[in-house]
């Protein structure tokens, strides 16, 4: 496979690629799923460059993953060069606080339906704590609280289910290990909190 | 200061009422000097807005002929007058910059910034950005007076505009654009003004430029074969059809700055909006790549502006 990167707009993470093996031209954008490609004409490319801020490029790649890795690298580099570097942390709590209530309800549904059965407790707990901290709606808070208790109880039972007769854990003080684990989760750090 | 503001507002209102293109100069002794624009059609620096104004009369005459036999065209023209907005499609990063107080930049301004940043001359930066498309863009922009200040949008009577290259659709306040700072083209300027060999046709194509106040007549005339059999709910797609390419829309060329205050709303498709929230949910579990960090950072900044009432987000189903 041979791909030619013909135009880019790294601040948006977007690029236009010509697939030399089949001759198609497509616009790729995050999260770069093949199904979400938009196929373009030569006129579209002209318009993208002359009116929509795309820069002309001419580089070849042998695989999509190599191309996307380059685009990902360039996104950070471009933002840095224009003085708006990528943030160290995504402002997720801020986003959850600004989400419409129906979006938060959707998040809670997905925690219940997807994260809990898969035991993705860390992700669920972090999201629930952000919901509890940022939302005012009583129904959302109450449901988030219930789910959080459910998760913590599931976490506890999972830890209790380690049997002391298992030779691998015979030397571990399970009660102490459990309390350390909960403390780490609560403070979101393995470091001792500073005084 | 308040009194100066009020005076300027009054002057602005009076200028808006002049039904002919004009030029304003600030004179230190006499204050503002207003003169009616008198640009020669053959001037090397043609005023695109004056040309558009001149063409409007011919368009109105042609439109009167159409309405004489087809009454429906008058109804369509009035509907367009009332509902037409100017839209500009942009990505999250651009909308975020506008939300944070910056102005929308055209390719010349972006090149200027890059030139300063990288210590190169502006023309080199512009050529590097546009490369094989440099010729057409420059031929058009430099043919007209103040062409390097032009911004480009599309006439939009509903919908998400040319969303292929910008999933967010900025809708400008309707009162911002008038005959003195904007005009309408029957299609993409880089197509309309060039022949198939890429030669710039300039004067030969002046007839395709019309002033904004003539938008209803012009659009109904141009699209009449399609509009005549359509019901009202289909009219927006006849005015701006993203699938129809460079001739599927009316390009609006204007020189007005675009910032947060210039926006009536920012339209977004429900799919794109849902996708943004999907990224938020995923970011709680997975280590996210730079492109997602960037998108979510932009999304957060846009939502901050929405929360502060600086931007109105319109989710279209």
Query: B113-135, pLDDT tens digit by residue?
Result: 989 988 999 999 999 888 878 89
pLDDT at B15: 52
Question: Around Cβ A73, how many Cβ atoms within 10 Å?
Answer: 13
| pLDDT-above-90 percentage for chain A | 59
Average pLDDT over residues B97-125: 93
Dig out the tokens for A49 from the structure: 């460059």
Binned at pLDDT 50, 70 and 90, residue B6 comes out as: low
B190 touches chain A (CB under 8 A): yes
Q: Do A56 and B165 touch (CB under 8 A)?
A: no
Average pLDDT of chain B is 87
* Helix residue ranges per DSSP H, chain B: 2-17, 48-69, 72-83, 92-99, 107-118, 122-130, 134-143, 189-192, 215-227, 235-239, 270-283, 290-307
Give the gap in angstroms from C-alpha A170 to the nearest C-alpha of chain B. 32
DSSP state of B229: T
d(Cα B301, Cα A100) in Å, to the nearest integer?
16
Closest-CA residue of A relative to B166 is A52
Asked whether residue A108 falls in the same domain as residue A78, the answer is no
Nearest to B207 by CA among B222, B196, B197: B222
Q: Do B152 and A51 touch (CB under 8 A)?
A: yes
Cβ A72 vs Cβ A12: under 8 Å: no
Instruction: Indicate the residue of A49, A86, A127 with minimum beta-carbon distance to B133.
Output: A49
Which residues fall within 8 angstroms of residue A118, CB to CB, at 6 or more apart?
A: none
Is beta strand B182-185 parallel, antiparallel or unpaired with respect to B313-316? Answer: unpaired
Asked whether residue A62 falls in the same domain as residue A24, the answer is yes
Q: A101-110 vs A121-134: helix axis angle to the nearest 10?
A: 160
A50 touches chain B (CB under 8 A): yes
d(Cα B68, Cα B62) in Å, to the nearest integer?
10
d(Cα B248, Cα A98) in Å, to the nearest integer?
37
pLDDT at A179: 76
User: Would you tell me which residues 224-253 of chain B have a C-beta closer than 8 angstroms to some C-beta of chain A?
Assistant: 245-246
Q: Do A95 and B303 touch (CB under 8 A)?
A: yes
* Helix residue ranges per DSSP H, chain A: 42-51, 64-81, 92-98, 101-110, 121-134, 138-160, 174-187
pLDDT at A49: 85
| A44 neighbourhood in chain B, CB within 8 Å | 164-165, 245
The domain segmentation of chain B, as residue ranges, is 2-79+150-261
pTM value is 0.81
Q: pLDDT: is B168 or A167 the higher one?
A: B168
Best B152, B280, B287, B301 residue to mutate vs chain A (most A CBs within 10 Å) = B280
pLDDT at B36: 47
d(Cα B46, Cα B205) in Å, to the nearest integer?
13
Rounded to 5 degrees, φ, ψ at B228 are -55, -30
Q: Do A75 and B152 touch (CB under 8 A)?
A: no
User: Would you tell me which residues 145-174 of chain A have a C-beta closer than 8 angstroms to some C-beta of chain B?
Assistant: none
Residue A126 belongs to domain spanning: 93-161
B278 touches chain A (CB under 8 A): no
Q: How many domains does chain A have?
A: 3
Q: Do A56 and B91 touch (CB under 8 A)?
A: no
| B290 neighbourhood in chain A, CB within 8 Å | 13, 72-73, 75-76, 86
pLDDT higher than 90, residue A98: yes
Q: Do B107 and A50 touch (CB under 8 A)?
A: yes
Average pLDDT of chain A is 88
pLDDT at B42: 44
């Amino acid at each position: 496979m041979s791909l030619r990167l013909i135009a880019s707009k790294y601040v948006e993470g977007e690029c236009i690629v010509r697939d030399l093996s089949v001759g198609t031209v497509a616009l790729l954008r995050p999260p770069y799923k093949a199904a979400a490609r938009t196929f373009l004409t030569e006129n579209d490319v002209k318009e993208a460059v002359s009116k929509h801020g795309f820069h002309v490029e001419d580089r070849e790649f042998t695989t999509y993953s190599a191309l996307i890795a380059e685009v990902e690298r360039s996104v950070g580099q471009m933002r840095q060069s224009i003085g708006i570097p990528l943030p160290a942390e995504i402002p997720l709590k801020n986003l959850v606080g600004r989400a419409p209530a129906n979006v938060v309800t959707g998040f809670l549904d997905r925690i219940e339906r997807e994260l809990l059965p898969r035991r993705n407790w860390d992700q669920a707990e972090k999201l629930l704590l952000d919901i509890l901290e940022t939302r005012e709606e009583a129904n959302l808070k109450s449901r988030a609280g219930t789910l959080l208790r459910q998760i913590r109880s599931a976490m506890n039972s999972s830890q209790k289910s380690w049997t002391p007769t298992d030779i691998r854990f015979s030397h571990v003080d399970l009660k102490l290990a459990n309390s350390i684990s909960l403390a780490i989760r609560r403070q979101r750090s393995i470091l001792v909190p500073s005084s | 200061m308040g009194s100066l503001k009020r005076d300027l507002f009054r002057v602005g209102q009076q200028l808006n009422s002049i039904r002919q293109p004009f030029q304003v100069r600030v004179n230190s002794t006499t204050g503002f000097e207003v003169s009616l624009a008198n640009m020669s059609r053959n001037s090397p620096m043609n005023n695109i807005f004056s040309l558009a104004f001149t063409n409007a009369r011919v368009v109105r005459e042609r439109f009167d002929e159409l309405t004489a036999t087809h009454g429906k065209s008058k109804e369509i023209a009035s509907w367009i007058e009332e509902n037409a907005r100017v839209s500009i499609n942009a990505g999250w990063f651009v909308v975020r910059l506008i939300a944070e107080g910056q102005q929308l930049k055209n390719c010349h301004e972006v090149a200027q910034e890059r030139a300063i940043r990288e210590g190169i001359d502006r023309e080199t930066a512009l050529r590097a950005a546009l490369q094989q498309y440099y010729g057409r863009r420059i031929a058009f922009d430099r043919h007209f007076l103040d062409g390097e200040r032009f911004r480009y949008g599309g006439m939009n009577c509903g919908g998400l505009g040319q969303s292929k290259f910008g999933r967010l659709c900025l809708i400008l306040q309707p009162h911002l654009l008038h005959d003195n700072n904007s005009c309408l083209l029957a299609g993409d300027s880089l197509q309309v003004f060039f022949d198939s060999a890429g030669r710039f046709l300039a004067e030969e194509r002046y007839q395709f430029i019309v002033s904004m106040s003539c938008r209803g007549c012009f659009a109904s005339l141009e699209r009449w074969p399609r509009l005549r059999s359509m019901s009202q709910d289909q009219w927006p797609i006849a005015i701006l059809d993203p699938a129809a390419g460079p001739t599927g829309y009316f390009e609006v060329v204007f020189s007005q700055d675009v910032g947060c205050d210039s926006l009536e709303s920012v339209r977004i498709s429900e799919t794109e909006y849902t996708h943004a929230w999907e990224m938020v949910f995923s970011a709680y579990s997975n280590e996210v790549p730079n492109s997602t960090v960037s998108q979510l950072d932009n999304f957060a900044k846009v939502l901050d502006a929405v929360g502060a009432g600086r931007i109105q987000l319109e989710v279209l189903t």
